[in-house]
Amino acid sequence: MNNAQRTYFIKQLASQTGFNYCGIARASKLDEDARRLEQWLDKGLQGSMKYMENYFDLRVDPTKLMPGAKSVITLLLNYFPAEQQHNNDLKISKYAYGKDYHEVIKEKLNFMLQSIKENIGEVNGRGFVDSAPVLERSWAVKSGLGWVGKNGNLINKMNGSYFFIATLIIDLDLDYDDPFVKDFCGTCTKCIDACPTNAIMEDKVINGSKCISYFTIELKEMLIPEEMKGKFDNWMFGCDTCQDVCPWNRFAKPTNEIAFTPIPEILNFTTNNWEEITTESFKKIFQNSPLKRAKLNGIKRNLKFINNV
Q: Would you name the residues annotated as active-site residues?
A: 130
Strands 71-78 and 163-170: antiparallel
d(CA 280, CA 128): 32
d(CA 46, CA 237): 18
Q: Locate all alpha helices (DSSP H) within the chain, ordered by sequence.
A: 3-17, 31-42, 56-60, 62-65, 101-120, 136-142, 190-194, 212-213, 241-244, 264-268, 271-276, 279-285, 295-306
Sequence-distant (6+) residues with CB within 8 A of 256 are 18, 78
Contacts for 250 with CB less than 8 Å, ≥ 6 apart: 160
CA–CA dist 215, 238 (Å, integer) = 8
Cα dihedral 304/305/307/309 (nearest 10): 60
